[in-house]
């Protein structure tokens, strides 16, 4: 055993064989175990314990509901008008970059009122509720509703705001849509769907009251209703986006809605414009596409876009002529006899688009151009040569391969698809049934078939967000009167029905 005047005697627990010399390694270890703690060691232990207890106290105080800090610094949400939704399985609660947030609006909002997360004081949040993005759609027949359902689904899927759909339709279209809409019980944002049920005879009567418009387009009488959306929807709906059913979004429709705020005060119509196109037999009506339009309904009502015998028969109203008749006559000439005492403009092609072209050509002051980003159309040589694939393609490459942008407002820039339109696929009622999709050598199928399959096959049920408190509301209006009918009723001081 090793002893020292400094260390008291210590009996090692390990037995030592008598008469054997002590091991120097074992003796040294015993000395180390017996040495008392030095000052530095004691200080280190005290510091460690102090830090540990300090951190424990900090986290306990931080997580205490009664001790949540109130900081008066501006909230990062103040400049980002987004709808904040707490959700454990969603990233929608994150603060987006400013250019991803919808523009702030002073109009009344229908967005859902969501509670702040429990670990963040509600007083520190400043959440803007933007206008509902409003669409007006036309669907007559189950076939058009089948296409329109994909369009509506894509809008709900990508939208970062509440939505309104004002759908002019018949019974078969409503039935088809309702079966799918009823599957959405917890949408991400509030959705209002309002069906406007207008009998075919009532639509024909309104066309006859106008005086001379007609159509030989496959869309028929319902297609001409695009000229009367501002008369069908109530005055409380001040603006709306119209989209043909054979299209779907691949981006947030809020970006398109924001285009209204960028328009000039007197603008009534915003739509794509193709000055490079020419077709004299159509009066060059292919220079626009009424497949997608931003309609300032309030402005169209002020201008009294369409004429009516009710206006012409009223001495006071007749002093302010409707906008459309002089535009139609400037392009098509005076109406001619069409039999049965009716008149008609000759040479009008492409249905409602022919009339819209006459209007914007005659009154360019109420018209603005919409970027081709929102009208990637299969009618235009394979959609500007845009499509999926080559995900590393840069801006220079995109500009090099694209077609039909020279001598247009979009010349010199790469088209960035935000909505795709599968028109001019003849021979089928539904664009997704087009036989060309099964042709591996078809350029359109090669570039866009995966997108078509995804959006058609995306299940309505998947639009639900279990943590959401937003709702989808469906309303149906049956006794629909056009604005000219309401005008006549008010002049007569009665609510009695007016015969056509």
Please give the full DSSP string across 56-71, using - where no structure is assigned: HHHHHHHT-GGG----
Most confident of 115-124, 346-355, 450-459: 450-459
Considering the domain architecture, whether residues 358 and 270 belong to the same structural domain is answered as yes
Q: Give pLDDT, residue 217.
A: 78
Nearest-angstrom CA–CA distance, 343 and 335:
6
pLDDT band at 317 (very low <50, low <70, confident <90, very high): confident
Considering the domain architecture, whether residues 92 and 151 belong to the same structural domain is answered as no
Other beta carbons less than 10 A from residue 229's beta carbon:
22
**Last residue in a domain, options 98, 130, 162:** 130
Other beta carbons less than 10 A from residue 326's beta carbon:
15
Residue 332 maps to a domain: yes
Q: Give pLDDT, residue 43.
A: 61
Residue 431 maps to a domain: no
Are residues 465 and 87 in contact, defined by beta-carbon separation less than 8 angstroms? yes
What the block records as the tokens of 175 is 């039935």
Residue 414 maps to a domain: no
Considering the domain architecture, whether residues 210 and 238 belong to the same structural domain is answered as yes
Of 60-64, 203-207, 491-495, give the lowest mean pLDDT range: 60-64
Residue 15 maps to a domain: no
Nearest-angstrom CA–CA distance, 364 and 96:
38
**Last residue in a domain, options 82, 108, 130:** 130
Considering the domain architecture, whether residues 85 and 179 belong to the same structural domain is answered as no
Q: Give pLDDT, residue 38.
A: 57
pLDDT band at 114 (very low <50, low <70, confident <90, very high): very low
Are residues 202 and 196 in contact, defined by beta-carbon separation less than 8 angstroms? no
pLDDT tens, 421-475? 999 998 899 999 999 999 989 999 999 999 999 999 999 999 999 999 999 999 9
Q: Give pLDDT, residue 48.
A: 64
Dihedral angle of Cα 427, 431, 434, 436, to the nearest 10 degrees = 120
pTM of the model: 0.73
Residue 400 maps to a domain: no
Are residues 254 and 329 in contact, defined by beta-carbon separation less than 8 angstroms? no
pLDDT tens, 170-226? 999 999 999 999 999 999 999 999 999 999 999 999 999 998 898 887 778 999 999
Domain span at residue 88 reads 68-130
The CB-side HSE value for 138 (13 A sphere, CA atoms) comes to 25
Considering the domain architecture, whether residues 79 and 220 belong to the same structural domain is answered as no
**Residue in the block written with tokens 């390694």:** 25
Average pLDDT over residues 22-30: 40
Considering the domain architecture, whether residues 186 and 333 belong to the same structural domain is answered as yes
Residue 287 maps to a domain: yes
Residue 444 maps to a domain: no
Considering the domain architecture, whether residues 156 and 242 belong to the same structural domain is answered as yes
Residue 320 maps to a domain: yes
**Last residue in a domain, options 130, 148, 170:** 130
Can you give the length of the chain in residues?
500
Considering the domain architecture, whether residues 207 and 122 belong to the same structural domain is answered as no
Considering the domain architecture, whether residues 176 and 225 belong to the same structural domain is answered as yes
Q: Give pLDDT, residue 220.
A: 85
Considering the domain architecture, whether residues 269 and 145 belong to the same structural domain is answered as yes
Dihedral angle of Cα 134, 371, 252, 178, to the nearest 10 degrees = 40
Give me the number of domains the chain comprises. 2
Considering the domain architecture, whether residues 355 and 308 belong to the same structural domain is answered as yes
Between 482 and 104, the higher pLDDT residue: 482
Considering the domain architecture, whether residues 212 and 336 belong to the same structural domain is answered as yes
| Residue 142 exposed, middle or buried by CB count within 10 Å (0-12, 13-18, 19+) | middle
Nearest-angstrom CA–CA distance, 477 and 195:
6
- Going from the C-alpha of 480 to that of each of 73, 213, 342, the distances in angstroms are 52, 21, 25
CATH number at residue 208: 3.90.550
| Residue 331 exposed, middle or buried by CB count within 10 Å (0-12, 13-18, 19+) | buried
SS3 118: coil
């Amino acid at each position: 055993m090793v002893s020292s005047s400094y260390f008291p005697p210590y009996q090692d627990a390990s037995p030592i064989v008598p008469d054997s010399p002590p091991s120097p390694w074992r003796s040294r270890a015993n000395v180390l175990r017996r040495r008392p703690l030095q000052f530095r060691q004691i200080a280190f232990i005290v510091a460690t314990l102090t830090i540990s207890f300090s951190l424990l106290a900090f986290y306990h105080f931080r997580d205490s509901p009664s001790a949540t800090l109130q900081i008066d610094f501006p909230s990062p949400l103040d400049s980002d008008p987004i709808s904040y939704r707490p959700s454990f399985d969603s990233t929608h609660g994150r603060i987006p970059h400013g250019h991803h947030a919808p523009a702030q609006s002073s109009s009344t909002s229908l967005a859902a009122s969501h509670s702040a997360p429990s670990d963040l004081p509600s007083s520190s949040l400043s959440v803007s509720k933007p206008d509902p993005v409003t669409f007006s759609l036309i669907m007559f027949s189950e076939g058009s509703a089948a296409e329109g359902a994909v369009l509506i689904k894509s809008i709900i899927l990508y939208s970062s705001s509440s939505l309104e759909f004002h759908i002019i339709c018949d019974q078969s279209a409503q039935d088809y849509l309702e079966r799918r809409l009823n599957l959405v019980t917890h949408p991400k944002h509030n959705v209002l769907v309002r069906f406007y049920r207008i009998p075919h005879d009532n639509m024909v009567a309104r066309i006859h009251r106008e005086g001379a418009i007609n159509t030989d387009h496959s869309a028929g009488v319902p297609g001409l209703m695009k000229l009367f959306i501002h008369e069908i929807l109530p005055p409380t709906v001040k603006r709306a986006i119209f989209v043909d059913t054979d299209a779907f979004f691949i981006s947030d429709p809020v970006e398109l809605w924001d285009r209204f705020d960028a328009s000039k005060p007197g603008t009534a119509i915003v739509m794509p414009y193709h000055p490079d196109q020419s077709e004299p037999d159509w009066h060059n009506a292919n220079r626009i596409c009424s497949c997608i339009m931003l309609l300032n309904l309030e402005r169209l009502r002020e201008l009294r876009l369409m004429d009516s015998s009710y206006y012409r028969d009223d001495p006071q109203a007749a002093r302010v002529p409707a906008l459309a008749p002089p535009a139609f006559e400037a392009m098509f000439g005076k109406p001619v006899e069409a039999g049965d005492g009716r008149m008609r403009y000759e040479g009008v092609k492409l249905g409602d688009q022919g009339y819209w072209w006459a209007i914007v050509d005659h009154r360019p002051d109420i018209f603005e151009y919409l970027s081709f980003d929102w009208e990637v159309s299969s009618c235009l040589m394979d959609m500007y040569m845009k499509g999926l694939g080559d995900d590393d393609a840069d801006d220079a490459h995109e500009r090099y391969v694209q077609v039909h942008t020279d001598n247009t407002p979009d010349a010199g820039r790469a088209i960035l698809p935000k909505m795709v339109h599968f028109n001019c696929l003849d021979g089928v009622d539904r664009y997704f049934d087009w036989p060309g999709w099964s042709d591996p050598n078809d350029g359109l199928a090669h570039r866009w078939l995966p997108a078509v399959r995804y959006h058609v096959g995306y299940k309505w049920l998947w639009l639900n967000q279990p943590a959401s408190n937003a709702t989808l509301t469906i309303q149906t209006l049956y006794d629909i009167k056009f604005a000219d009918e309401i005008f006549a009723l008010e002049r007569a001081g009665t609510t009695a029905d007016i015969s056509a």
